[in-house]
Amino acid sequence: MDDSNEEGQELTVTCRNCGAQLPSRQAHETEMRSCPDCGCREQIVALKLCDRISGPHEMLKGKMKDTTLPAKKNPRVEIKSGDELYKCEGKWVHKERVIDKDKDLYTETIVDPETGKVIHHCSEPLSQHRGHGSAKNSGPSTTLRFLGTVKSGLGKHSRLAIPGSGKLNGRPPPGWPPKFIPGSLNILVDDNGYPAGFAEIEGDRLAKLDTGAFPPAIMIPATEISGNTLKPKPGMPRRGAGQFWPARISVSGTDKTACCWLFRRVGSSIKQQLELVSGVVLRKELLLTDGVHTIVDVKFNSSLDHSVNVG
């Protein structure tokens, strides 16, 4: 019989003569009892201590190259899988990362091996991921940072149908989803949550995005957005056209983040709410409720012509 009341300890008592296992409580008695099997009074008391140590830790790395391409365009795929010290929490985690230039894909998942909880997950076009791949050489891109809170919207965008990658006239920009979820996530920009220098641009708050100062990645004519009631009119040929900028929303004070698109129709009366659209339900993806504070980074490329794709 063993005594393992305390975690990590195991106490056993056996007869020295015949090896019979005896009650462990006899180890604490001042007078030894005779073995019930052979009568011997000599005992062997063994205390086993157990402890758990971390490690060893392993990280596997791999690269795939295309021998038909010059060295500066390789590797085409980079894979990283294994254990890594998560510095922000000072603990070992399991990381999976894939960088695929041919598929324009960047994915990274970090999991706590003790709880199985996903600490961080990111899946986005490599061209939109800052600091990797073509994101380093995508031209003179600039980021606008907005600070604001989640707010229930006006309900109008649920009636709009933005064409997905299979229905879009022309080539879609990197990261354009096959299908957009109806509606938008609305972020009410704080009074002091606009980018530096934004106030100097002509226009009323977010109407500045209609001026051409921040070229979108794509513009879709008003007539190609189903349910769009904002139409061109004399003197305003671009009225109602959908402008789209690649964006990333982050929940303040957490690691929660998601890629999306900032959507704004030219001439919209909405002046203080960012309208974010995506191929996933952002509220569910980031566990958002009204009032949650967020950071929205919006990218535009100053080398793009503002009139691109405008009908």
Q: Are 259 and 110 in the same domain?
A: no
Say if residue 223's pLDDT is above 60.
yes
Alpha carbon separation from 201 to 62, 77, 198 (Å, rounded): 47, 42, 6
- For the ranges 83-87, 217-221, 307-311, the maximum mean pLDDT occurs at 217-221
111 belongs to a structural domain:
yes
pLDDT for the residue numbered 9: 63
State what percent of residues in the chain have pLDDT above 70: 80
The token pair at 40 is 């011997």
Separation of alpha carbons 121 and 234, rounded Å: 47
List the 91-100 sheet strands across, edge first. 59-64, 77-86, 91-100, 105-111, 118-124
- Record the pTM: 0.54
127 belongs to a structural domain:
yes
Q: End of a domain among 74, 103, 134?
A: 134
CATH number at residue 263: 2.40.30.30
Q: Are 233 and 173 in the same domain?
A: yes
What residue numbers bound the domain in which 74 lies?
Answer: 59-134
Q: Are 129 and 145 in the same domain?
A: no
* pLDDT tens by residue, 98-145: 988 888 888 888 888 888 887 777 777 776 655 443 444 344 448 889
Q: Are 106 and 241 in the same domain?
A: no
The residue-averaged pLDDT of 138-161 equals: 74
Q: Are 130 and 178 in the same domain?
A: no
307 belongs to a structural domain:
no
Separation of alpha carbons 165 and 224, rounded Å: 13
310 belongs to a structural domain:
no
pLDDT for the residue numbered 227: 83
Q: Are 129 and 165 in the same domain?
A: no
Q: Are 115 and 182 in the same domain?
A: no
Q: Are 67 and 173 in the same domain?
A: no
Which of 53-57, 89-93, 154-158, 258-262 bottoms out in mean pLDDT, i.e. has the lowest?
154-158
Q: Are 9 and 40 in the same domain?
A: yes
How many alpha carbons lie under 13 Å from residue 39 in its C-beta half-sphere?
A: 0
Which residues, including other chains, have CB under 8 Å from residue 88's CB and lie 6 or more apart?
none
Say if residue 5's pLDDT is above 50.
no
Separation of alpha carbons 220 and 242, rounded Å: 5
| 75, 102 contact by CB (below 8 A) | no
The Cβ of residue 309 has, within 10 Å, a number of other Cβ atoms equal to 21
308 belongs to a structural domain:
no
State what percent of residues in the chain have pLDDT above 90: 17
12 belongs to a structural domain:
yes
Say if residue 6's pLDDT is above 50.
no
The token pair at 37 is 């099997």
Q: Greater confidence, 77 or 28?
A: 77
264 belongs to a structural domain:
yes
* pLDDT tens by residue, 15-56: 878 888 878 766 566 566 788 888 887 777 776 666 555 557
Q: Are 69 and 125 in the same domain?
A: yes
Separation of alpha carbons 140 and 106, rounded Å: 21
Alpha carbon separation from 77 to 22, 104, 138, 192, 218 (Å, rounded): 62, 10, 19, 42, 28
* pLDDT tens by residue, 78-91: 888 988 876 545 67
How many domains are contained in the chain?
3
pLDDT for the residue numbered 107: 84
pLDDT for the residue numbered 261: 94
Predicted confidence band of residue 229 (pLDDT cuts 50, 70, 90): confident
Separation of alpha carbons 121 and 93, rounded Å: 13
Which of 43-47, 146-150, 204-208, 261-265 bottoms out in mean pLDDT, i.e. has the lowest?
43-47
Q: Are 155 and 294 in the same domain?
A: yes
